[in-house]
């Protein structure tokens, strides 16, 4: 993947200035702003080399800091990913393995609690999605469940309030309001700005409905993947080409009387419920003015086969990217506030997502698999004064690394039971490395929506070995140097026998290191 040219500091004088700021950093701990979105993927960011993605404010973070080209998650699903981030531990260790019946134990150790002990103010605003009440925060305002795009409910200290407006704007408003109220406080702060966007069903703000309408998105060359040699991939239920992507719920092609599996999630007969039903009269008027002609044209066209599949892909991409636009605009608002209030140069700004997402690769939407598009996740950081690292970082990093990194930056001790590694050394100097040979992954939520099988695996930066288990027993091996789109399963190729033996041994070592009980059930 070719990345955009990134800003680099030039000249000895610039480096000298940064070096001179190191002592100031040590005297006063850095502020931390951690922005996390839902289901935003590298393929929808300009700084990751995708020209169709207009994301100038996200690109600015990368251009003025670092961009991680090998950033991954431990479990590609919203709630589990958030629990990994908070604790610095894999899912089996923090207890939140899936979104169906897991409950995050708020009494356990988290990095916000440890930052509080180190003298930080802590706050979280936006999506929580951990089936419990936040702990370790001086202030919290969280969406009720997944949250709605329009006029969502926020919960604060047990009180639920409907807030008028578009959710991405509201989360930014509330984040800036908290910063404004606390800007004169002598304590450093850690603010978690956690957006609902860009979660399914990708409802854009009314002011952005016309964006991207004239764009024709390139169809991934494996959109019509036949999944040969990949049993689990063939049995998934997240295919854009089929009814897995719903015309009414996902693509908003509603007409009275039409039925679909997910229709009630979008609109009910009275029009007062479902996601469309949360809009007020003015919002619906603008929404209907945009979608009604598209709906009429769609049903008049009576598309079938490949024409229908590719129409659905284009419609999905337009809605998704419109939702990204609002997110990027609001990141710009937050950056402008920090700059206007002299907070930009003593604040580490981190932007990431809870995991990646499929933008038509393999014909899919959603996430869950250990395949690259959903295993990877965006990670960019705007570096404050005192940190000289700029540009691309290719070290293997994972979302369990965020907690120890924030603690290390704050000068707090990192507890021995945290399983992630601090990224601080590689943020300070390009001469340092993460000293990590491979990453471990484990996905648990099956049977469930999208029918992705349970699996675990190892990735060493080139080879990826995956074991699908439970109701099947299937192994897959990919050489990402020769097959970056992971189309050819090499597990049964005798030429890779020694590589498989080596990877299984390293996989076992990681399962022992992280104390994953799956090793007892499936010994290697």
Please provide residue 176's backbone torsions phi and psi, each rounded to the nearest 5 degrees.
-65, -40
Q: Using CA atoms, how far apart are residues 234 and 158, in angstroms rounded to an integer?
A: 44
Q: Could you tell me if residue 454 is inside a domain?
A: yes
Residue 166 DSSP one-character state: B
CA distances (Å), origin 86, targets 82, 110, 401, 404: 6, 5, 10, 10
Same domain, 53 and 92: yes
Same domain, 52 and 92: yes
**Token pair in block for residue 168:** 């991405």
Position 218 confidence tier, pLDDT thresholds 50, 70, 90:
very high
Select from 345, 365, 342, 367 the least CA-distant residue to 356.
367
Render pLDDT for 85-113 as a digit per residue (tens, 0 to 9): 999 999 999 999 999 999 999 999 999 99
Instruction: Kindly provide the b/e burial profile for residues 457-482, where b requires at least 16 CB atoms within 10 angstroms of the residue's own CB.
Output: bbbbeebbbbbbbeeeebbbbbbeee
Same domain, 445 and 421: no
Q: Could you tell me if residue 8 is inside a domain?
A: no
Q: Could you tell me if residue 217 is inside a domain?
A: no
**Token pair in block for residue 205:** 């703000």
CA 212 remoteness from chain centre: 22
Same domain, 383 and 496: no
448: exposed, middle or buried (C-beta count within 10 Å: 0-12, 13-18, 19+)?
middle
Q: Which helix (H) or strand (E) holds 331?
A: helix 305-340
Position 29 confidence tier, pLDDT thresholds 50, 70, 90:
confident
Q: Could you tell me if residue 224 is inside a domain?
A: no
Same domain, 173 and 117: yes
Please provide residue 36's backbone torsions phi and psi, each rounded to the nearest 5 degrees.
-130, 130
Q: Which helix (H) or strand (E) holds 161?
A: strand 159-162
Residue 219 DSSP one-character state: P
Q: Using CA atoms, how far apart are residues 423 and 402, in angstroms rounded to an integer?
A: 8
Tell me if the bond preceding 520 is cis, omega within 30° of 0.
Answer: no
pLDDT greater than 60 at residue 19: no
Residues 65/72, Cβ–Cβ less than 8 Å: no
| Cα 404-409-415 angle, rounded to 5 deg | 35
**Which range marks the domain in which residue 111 is found?**
29-202+322-430
3-state helix, strand, coil in the chain (%, to 5): 35, 15, 50
pLDDT above 90 coverage of the chain, percent = 91
Tell me if the bond preceding 183 is cis, omega within 30° of 0.
Answer: no
Q: Could you tell me if residue 360 is inside a domain?
A: yes
Render pLDDT for 260-293 as a digit per residue (tens, 0 to 9): 999 999 998 888 899 999 999 999 999 999 999 9
Sheet holding 159-162, edge to edge: 159-162, 153-156, 139-143, 121-126, 189-194, 31-37, 347-353, 379-382, 65-68, 391-393
Q: Helices (DSSP H) in 364-496: which residue ranges?
A: 372-375, 402-410, 424-428
Give pLDDT, residue 23: 37
Q: Could you tell me if residue 251 is inside a domain?
A: no
- The neighbouring-strand residues paired with 155 are 142, 160
pLDDT greater than 70 at residue 503: yes
Give pLDDT, residue 9: 29
Would you call 92 helix, strand, or coil by DSSP? helix
pLDDT above 70 coverage of the chain, percent = 95
Same domain, 388 and 470: no
Q: Using CA atoms, how far apart are residues 51 and 49, in angstroms rounded to an integer?
A: 6
Same domain, 52 and 165: yes
Residue 311: CB atoms within 10 A of its CB come to: 14
**Token pair in block for residue 198:** 């860009």
Position 386 confidence tier, pLDDT thresholds 50, 70, 90:
confident
Sign of CA pseudo-dihedral 51, 374, 330, 384: negative
Average pLDDT, the chain: 94
Residues 369/233, Cβ–Cβ less than 8 Å: yes
Query: The domain that contains 445 carries what CATH number?
Result: 3.30.1120.10
CA distances (Å), origin 212, targets 154, 299, 523: 30, 21, 50
Select from 71, 101, 70, 107 the least CA-distant residue to 87.
107
Domain boundary, last residue among 407, 430, 453: 430
Same domain, 337 and 416: yes
Would you call 371 helix, strand, or coil by DSSP? coil
Please provide residue 161's backbone torsions phi and psi, each rounded to the nearest 5 degrees.
-130, 135
Give pLDDT, residue 27: 57
Give pLDDT, residue 270: 84
Same domain, 182 and 75: yes
pLDDT greater than 80 at residue 367: yes
Render pLDDT for 171-210 as a digit per residue (tens, 0 to 9): 999 999 999 999 888 999 999 999 999 999 999 999 999 9
Give pLDDT, residue 21: 35
Tell me if the bond preceding 202 is cis, omega within 30° of 0.
Answer: no
Q: Could you tell me if residue 73 is inside a domain?
A: yes
Residue 359 DSSP one-character state: S
Render pLDDT for 137-159 as a digit per residue (tens, 0 to 9): 999 999 999 999 999 999 998 89
Give pLDDT, residue 5: 35
Residues 411/376, Cβ–Cβ less than 8 Å: no
Render pLDDT for 202-212 as a digit per residue (tens, 0 to 9): 999 999 999 99
Domain count along the chain: 2
Domain boundary, last residue among 430, 456, 490: 430
Give pLDDT, residue 24: 36
Same domain, 195 and 147: yes
Same domain, 409 and 458: no
pLDDT greater than 60 at residue 16: no
Sign of CA pseudo-dihedral 84, 330, 252, 241: negative
Domain boundary, last residue among 405, 430, 455: 430
Q: Could you tell me if residue 220 is inside a domain?
A: no
Span 297-320, average pLDDT = 98
Please provide residue 353's backbone torsions phi and psi, each rounded to the nearest 5 degrees.
-130, 165
Query: The domain that contains 346 carries what CATH number?
Result: 3.40.720.10
Q: Using CA atoms, how far apart are residues 151 and 162, in angstroms rounded to an integer?
A: 6
Same domain, 100 and 71: yes
The pTM score is 0.94
């Amino acid at each position: 993947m070719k990345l955009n040219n990134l800003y680099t500091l030039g000249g000895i004088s610039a480096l000298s200035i940064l070096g001179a700021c190191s002592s100031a950093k040590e005297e006063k701990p850095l502020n931390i702003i951690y922005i996390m979105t839902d289901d935003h993927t590298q393929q929808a960011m300009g700084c990751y080399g995708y020209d169709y993605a207009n994301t100038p404010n996200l690109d600015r973070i990368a251009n003025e800091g670092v961009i991680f080209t090998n950033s991954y998650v431990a479990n590609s699903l919203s709630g589990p990913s958030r629990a990994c981030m908070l604790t610095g531990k894999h899912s089996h260790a923090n207890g939140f393995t899936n979104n169906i019946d897991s409950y995050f134990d708020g009494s356990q150790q988290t990095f916000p609690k440890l930052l509080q002990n180190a003298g930080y103010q802590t706050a979280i605003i936006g999506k929580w999605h951990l089936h419990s009440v936040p702990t370790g925060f001086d202030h919290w305002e969280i969406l009720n469940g997944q949250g709605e795009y329009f006029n969502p409910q926020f919960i604060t200290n047990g009180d639920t309030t409907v807030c008028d407006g578009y959710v991405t704007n509201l989360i930014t408003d509330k984040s800036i309001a908290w910063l404004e109220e606390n800007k004169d406080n002598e304590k450093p702060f850690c603010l978690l700005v956690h957006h609902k966007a860009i979660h399914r069903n990708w409802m854009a703000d009314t002011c952005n409905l016309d964006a991207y309408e004239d764009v024709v998105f390139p169809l991934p060359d494996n959109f019509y993947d036949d999944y040969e040699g990949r049993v689990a991939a063939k049995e998934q239920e997240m295919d854009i080409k089929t009814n897995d992507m719903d015309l009414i719920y996902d693509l908003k092609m509603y007409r009275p009387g039409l039925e679909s599996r997910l229709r009630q999630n979008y609109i009910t007969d009275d029009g007062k419920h479902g996601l469309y039903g949360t809009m007020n009269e003015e919002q619906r008027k603008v929404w209907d003015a945009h979608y009604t002609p598209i709906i009429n044209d769609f049903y008049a066209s009576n598309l079938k086969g490949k024409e229908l599949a590719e129409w659905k892909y284009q419609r999905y991409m337009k809605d998704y990217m419109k939702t990204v636009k609002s997110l990027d605009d609001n990141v710009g608002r937050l950056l402008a506030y920090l700059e206007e209030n002299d907070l930009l140069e003593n604040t580490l700004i981190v932007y990431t997502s809870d995991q990646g997402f499929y933008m038509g690769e393999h014909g899919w939407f959603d996430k869950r698999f250990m395949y690259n598009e959903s295993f990877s996740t965006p990670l960019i950081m705007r570096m404050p004064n005192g940190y000289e690292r700029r540009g691309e970082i290719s070290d293997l990093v994972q979302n369990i690394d965020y907690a120890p990194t924030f603690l290390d930056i704050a000068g707090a001790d990192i507890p021995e039971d945290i399983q992630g590694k601090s990224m601080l050394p590689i943020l300070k100097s390009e001469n340092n490395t993460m000293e990590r040979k491979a990453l471990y992954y484990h996905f648990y939520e099956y049977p469930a929506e999208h029918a992705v099988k349970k699996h675990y695996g190892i990735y060493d930066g080139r080879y990826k070995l995956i074991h699908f288990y439970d109701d099947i027993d299937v192994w897959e091996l990919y050489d990402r140097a020769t097959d970056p789109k992971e189309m050819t399963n090499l597990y049964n190729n005798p030429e890779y026998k020694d590589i498989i033996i080596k990877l299984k041994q390293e996989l076992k070592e990681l399962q022992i290191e992280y104390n994953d009980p799956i090793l007892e059930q499936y010994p290697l």
